[in-house]
Structure 1
Amino acid sequence: MSEIHSAEWFAEKLGDRTMRGIALETSALIRSGALPVGTKLPAIRDLAFVLGISPATISEAWSELRHQKIISGRGRNGTWVSGDRFIAKPQRLASSGNYGESVLNLTAAVPDVRLLPQLATALGYGASAENLNSYERSRILPELEAAARLTWPYEPEAFLATNGGYNAVYTLLHALVTPGASVAIENPTAMRLLDILEDRGVRIVPVQCDRNGPLPSSLQEAMKYKPIAFLFQPRLHSVTGQSVGKARLDALADVLQASDALVIEDDGVADISSAPRHSMGGRFPDRVIHILSYSKTLGPDLRLAVLSSSKAIVEQIQSYRSFSAGWTSRILQSAAAWLLRDPATEETLERARAIYRKRRDDLTGALRARDVAVEDGMGLCAWVPVASEPFAMVTMAARGIAVHPGAKFSISPSNHIRVATGNLSDRCEEVADAIALACTPP
C-alpha cells in the first residue's frame, strides 16, 4: 500500500479548483502513475482547507471518480486509488468467466440458434429498404412500424427503432434520467439493467416481487423516494420466468396513478412467452415507454428493438441519439418487417416456444423430484433457491457446470442461482443432480 500524499502535495498539483477540475486533474495524476493504485487520498476536510474551497466541492469530485471506479472507500476509513483504467464496464456482465469446452456453460440465457428464423431471404429483401443509405435520421421504417402495430398492446403516439432492447434502455435513461435521480426497479431483475442503472449513477430503489410480479405494496413504499421512473418486465421476467397478470398490472397502475413517474416496460424475451402482451400504455399514454426486443425471437444479430411512447418522449430520445447513431440500420429494420409478415416465422416461433417450455419444465420437474422447490414459469432460465450461494456455486463448478449466482440479479442479499435452460437439451438429469447437491445446506 502506497503512503498517503499530503494535502499540501495535492494543492501544488491542482490548478483548477472547481469540482470538475479537481476530478479531471486527479484522474490525470492517477493515469500518469503519480498516484498509483493503493494510494490513500488526503482527508476531504484537510484538502479543502489547504485549497481554500468547500469540502462539498472535494466530495463531489471524489463522487465522480468513484463513479468511474478508480477510487473507492469513504468516511473514517479514508479514500483509496483502486484502479487506473478509465473505461467504464458493466460490472455484473464483465464478471462472467471464460469457460473451457469441458464446462457445461449454463450462464447465458440465450436462444438456441437452431430455433431462430433463417435470415438470408429477409436480409436480401432488406437490402432494398426504403430510403436506403440516406443520412436522414428517421425514427423507424414505415413497414416495420406497420408490422409492429399489428400486435402492439396499446395504441401509442410514436414508435422508434433502436439497436436492441438494452440499447433502448441505455439510450432512454441517458435522454430522460439525470444522475442522482431515483429509479424503481423490480428485484430481482436482469443484471444488464442493473449495470446500466449503476453506470448512469442513479439511486436504485428495489421493488420486491412474488410469483405474480412486482408487489404493489413494495412499489408504494418505493414511491416515497419519488422515483423518476419505474422499470419492470410485464410480460415475462427474464430471470424468474414469471409473468404479470392483468389484475397485478392494474394494481401497480393504481399505485402509479398519483405520480408522474415514467413507466418503462421491458419486453425482452418477447414471443418466446405465450403470455398475452399487455401494457399500462392505454392508461398512461403520456409517460409509458414500452420496449419490445426481437433478439430472442428473430435473432440477436438483427440488433433490433422497437419502443413506443408519446411523441414528446420519443423526440427526446431521438434527440439524444443524434449524438451518435442517429438511426437504426434500415436494412435490418426492413428484414425484420419481412420476417414479421412471413407466416413461416410464426411457425418457427411456435416450435421454439414449445421446445423452450419443455426444456425448462424438464429441469424444474427433475428438481421437484429431488425435493428442490422451484416455481413454474416460462422463458430461457430457471431461478432456483439455495441455502448458500457461495456453496452452491462451488458445488456446481466442482461438477463442471457454470451458472450465475443470484446476487448478480439483485440489489439485496440473495440465495438463488440462475440456470439457463434455453440450450439444455440432453443433460437435464445430470444438472438436476448437481443442483440438488448445491441446495444442500453446507
Structure 2
Amino acid sequence: MTAVLSALEQRLDHPTAKGLAHAVSAAIRDGELVAGDRLPPIRTVAAQLALSPTTVSAAWALLARSGAVHADGRRGTTILDQGGATGGRYRQALRHEAAFTLDLSTGVPDPALLPSLGAVLAQLTSAPTTGSYLDDPVLPALADTLREDWPYAAANLAVVDGAMDAMDLIVRTTLRFGDRVVVEDPGFPPLVDLLESVGVQLVGVPLDDEGLELSALEDALREPVAAVFLQPRAQNPVGVTITTARAEAIAALLDGTDTLVVEDDSAAGLSAEALVSLGRWRPEHTAYIRSFSKSHGPDLRLAALSAPAALHRALTARRELGQGWSSRLLQQVLLGLLTSETARTEVARASVTYAARRAHVVDALAARGVVVPGTEGINIWVPVHDETAAVVRLASRGIGVAAGAPFRLGAAEVGGTDGHVRVTVGAATGDLDAVADALADAALAGGRQGRAR
C-alpha cells in the first residue's frame, strides 16, 4: 500500500482528478502497478496526497471509463489487464451464439446491391502507375469529383482507410484524457469503444425526430465540451436524419466555442435526403467524414474527410508516421465507380431497394402495434420489452439481430419499454411480412401483451 502511494505521489504533477488519473496511468506504464493490483481506498489516497475524496473519486471514475481499472464498490478498485483486446461494445453487438438462416445483426449492406466492379477494374490496365511514394496522397481527379457535391466549401480533403480510420485519426490527434465528448445515445458501438480507449468523459445525448435533442445538448454544453460526434443521415441504429433547422440550432448552441463537430456520414449515396452539415455554419470547427462502405463496398476500405487546416495538417503528419496514404489503386477504383453511369445507376437502385425494404417492414410492424423511430437507413431500432428474450425468440426462428445494450451509454429501464434490438432490415430478403411477424412477436417476448406498443 505504501509503495503504491509513493509511486502515485512521485508521478502526480497536478492536484486534479485528471492529474491523478495520469499518475495512475504512468505507474501502470512503468510497471509499478500491474493487473490485479488494488488501489488504496479513496480516503487513504486523499489523505496521503492532500487531495479531496471527491477529486480521487473522480480520478477513479476517469480510469474506469478508460478501461484501466474496475471499480467494485466496497471490494475496491482493481487494475485491469492493459494488454487485452479492446472493442467490447462492438464485439457484443456482433456476438453470434448460433448460425442464422437470416442474419440481420451485422449492419452491413446487402452484397447483391453493391455496384459491379468488372468494368471499373478492366479500366485499370490504362490507369496511371502507382509505383511512387511521392505522389499526392489523394488522386487529384478523385478530389475534384468529391468536391462536386461536398456539403460545404472545404479546402482540405483527405482519403483514409474507412470511417473508423478517420475517427481514430481525429480522436488520437485532438482528444486528451478526461476531455468531455458528446455522443449520440444510442450510437455506434465502435466509436464508443474508441473514445473509451483514450479515457475521455462520454456525455450521451438522446435523439428525437430531427437529430440531437437540443435541451439535452444544451445541458451537456454547460461545461466545456471538446468534441461532438454525430451521424447526419440515417443514424445508426435509430435511422434519424438531421434537419436543417436542427443543424442550425446546434451550430447556434456551439457558437463562440472551439468545440469540434465530427460528422460520420455513412449513408452517403444511399440517403434520399439532402445532407445538412454543420460545416455550413462552422467550417473552421467541423470535420466531415464520407464513407463509401455501404454504398460501394466495405472491402474498398475508403472514406474521404475534410477538416480545418490545422487539424488536416495534424492528421496528415500522423499518417506519415504510419501508412502514409490510402492505396491510390483503390482510389482509382472508387473514382471509376463514382464517375461510371452504370455504377451510379446501381447505387441509386440500391438506395430505392433499401428504402422499400425498410418501409415495408416498418409499416408492417406499425400495423402490428410496434412503432419504429427514424426515417431511413439500412437499420431499424425496434422497441422490445426484454432484449434477451427478443434475441433468443428470433434466434429460435433462425433470425439474428443485435441486442440494443451495446449501442446505449445508459442501461435500459428494467421492466420498462425502452429496450431495443437493432435490425439490419436492408439485408432482409424474401418474405418481409414474415420478418415483421417475427419481430413483432419478439417485441412482446418476456412481457405482457402490448408492452412494446
Normalising by the residue count of structure 1, what TM-score does the alignment of the two structures yield? Answer: 0.86
Residues 34, 81 of structure 2: 8 Å contact kept: no
SS, match of residue 253 in structure 2: helix
SS of the equivalent of 1:271 reads: coil
| Equivalent-residue separation in structure 2 for 1:70 and 1:128 (angstroms) | 52
1:24 corresponds to: 29
Q: 1:430 aligns with which of 400, 415, 434?
A: 434
What residue in structure 1 maps to residue 264 of structure 2?
266
In structure 2, do the counterparts of structure 1 residues 9 and 166 end up closer, same or farther at CA, with 3 Å as the change threshold? closer
Query: Which amino acid in structure 1 is aligned with residue 429 of structure 2?
Result: S
Residue of structure 2 in register with 1:172 after alignment: 170
Partner Cα separation in structure 1 for residue 388 and residue 286 of structure 2: 39
Corresponding residue SS for 2:83? coil
Give me the whole-angstrom Cα distance separating, in 2, the residues matched to 1:21 and 1:277.
44
The answer as to whether partners of 2:180 and 2:224 remain within 8 angstroms in 1 is: yes
Looking at structure 2, the residues matched to 359 and 112 of structure 1 have their Cα atoms a distance apart, in angstroms, of 12
Q: Distance in 2 between matches of 1:255 and 1:16?
A: 40
- State the number of aligned residues: 425
- Aligned residue for 2:16? none
Query: In structure 2, do the counterparts of structure 1 residues 231 and 71 end up closer, same or farther at CA, with 3 Å as the change threshold?
Result: closer
2:70 corresponding residue in structure 1: 72
Deviations 1:30-55 (Å, cap 9, x if unpaired)? 4xxxx5xxx65554665899xx8677
Aligned with 2:338: secondary structure?
helix
What secondary structure does 1:161 align onto?
Answer: strand
Establish whether residue 113 from structure 1 lines up as the match of residue 117 from structure 2. Answer: no
Alpha-carbon shift at residue 342 of structure 1 (Å): 0.8
Q: Which of 230-239 and 395-404 deviates more?
A: 395-404
Instruction: State the partner residue of 1:244.
Output: 242
Q: Contact conserved, 1:68 with 1:88, CA < 8 A, in 2?
A: no
CA shift at 1:119, angstroms? 2.2
Deviates more, 1:156-165 or 1:411-420: 411-420
| TM superposition shift of 1:412 | 2.1
Task: Kindly provide the CA deviation profile for residues 79-114 of structure 1, in whole angstroms up to 9, marking residues without a partner as x.
Answer: 235x54613411111223235434532111111111
For 2:160, the equivalent position in structure 1 comes to 162
Partner of 1:229: 227
1:289 aligned onto 2:253: no
Q: Secondary structure at the match of 2:151?
A: coil
Cα–Cα, structure 1 residues 45 and 102, in superposed 2: closer, same or farther, change >3 Å?
same
Choose the corresponding residue for 2:91, options 94, 98, 101.
Answer: 94
Q: CA separation in 2, counterparts of 1:178 and 1:58?
A: 19
Aligned residue in 1 for 2:416: none
Match of 1:241, SS state, is: coil
SS of match in other structure, 2:206:
strand
**Secondary structure of the structure 2 residue equivalent to 1:263:** strand
Distance in 1 (alpha carbons) for counterparts of 2:349 and 2:99: 28
Where does residue 365 of structure 1 map in the other structure?
363
Cα distance in 2, alignment partners of residues 275 and 385 from structure 1: 25
Q: Distance in 1 between matches of 2:112 and 2:142?
A: 25
Q: 1:276 — aligned with what? A: 274
Maintained 8 Å contact 1:128/1:331: no
113-122 or 296-305: bigger deviation: 113-122
Give the AA of the match of 1:225: E
**Distance in 1 (alpha carbons) for counterparts of 2:125 and 2:32:** 46
Deviates more, 1:18-27 or 1:391-400: 18-27
* Cα drift, residue 15 of structure 1: 12
Residues 131 and 216 (structure 1 numbering): CA distance in 2 closer, same or farther, change over 3 Å? farther
- Residue 262 of structure 1 deviates from its aligned partner by 1.0
Provide closer, same or farther for how the CA distance between residues 188 and 101 of structure 1 changes in structure 2, counting only shifts above 3 A: closer
Determine if contact 2:62/2:201 at 8 Å carries over to the other structure: no
RMSD: 3.0
Amino acid at match of 2:89: R
How far does the alpha carbon of each residue in 1:156-194 deviate from its partner, in whole angstroms, 9 at most, with x for none?
121011100111111111111112111112222212221
Instruction: Letter of the 2:91 partner, please give it.
Output: A
Instruction: State which drifts further: 67-76 or 329-338.
Output: 67-76
Q: Secondary structure at the match of 1:272?
A: coil
Q: Give the match for residue 451 of structure 2.
A: none
Secondary structure at the residue paired with 2:294?
Answer: coil
CA shift for structure 1 position 134: 2.2
Q: Distance in 1 between matches of 2:107 and 2:404?
A: 14
Contact 2:113/2:350 (8 A) holds in 1:
yes
**Cα distance in 1, alignment partners of residues 5 and 152 from structure 2:** 59
Identify if the C-alpha distance between structure 1 residues 287 and 125 changes in structure 2 by more than 3 Å, giving closer, same or farther.
farther
C-alpha displacement at 1:286, in angstroms?
Answer: 1.0
Question: Aligned equivalents of 1:145 and 1:127: distance in 2?
Answer: 21
1:208 aligned partner = 206
Aligned-residue offset at 1:22: 2.3
- Displacement, 1:71? 3.5
SS at structure 2 position matched to 1:224: coil
After superposition, the Cα gap between the structure-2 partners of 1:46 and 1:247, relative to the gap in structure 1 and judged at 3 Å, is closer
1:146 paired to 2:144: yes
Q: Secondary structure at the match of 1:317?
A: helix
**Preserved CA contact (<8 Å) 2:182 2:229:** yes
Structure 1's 260 and 9: CA in aligned 2 closer, same or farther, altered over 3 A?
Answer: closer
AA aligned opposite 1:92 = R
1:310 deviates by: 2.4
**Which residue does 2:316 correspond to in 1?**
318
Q: Contact 2:265–2:290 at 8 Å: present in 1 too? A: yes
Identity %: 32
Q: Give 2:423's aligned residue.
A: 419
**In structure 2, what is the Cα distance between the partners aligned to 1:409 and 1:356?**
22
Q: Distance in 1 between matches of 2:140 and 2:130?
A: 13
> Residues 59, 280 of structure 1: CA spacing in aligned structure 2 closer, same or farther, 3 A cutoff?
closer
Q: Distance in 1 between matches of 2:177 and 2:305?
A: 23
Aligned to 2:330: 332
Is the 8 Å Cα contact of residues 4 and 33 (structure 2) preserved in structure 1? no
Which piece of structure 1 moves more, 16-25 or 353-362?
A: 16-25
Q: Distance in 1 between matches of 2:352 and 2:299?
A: 23
SS in 1 for 2:427: coil
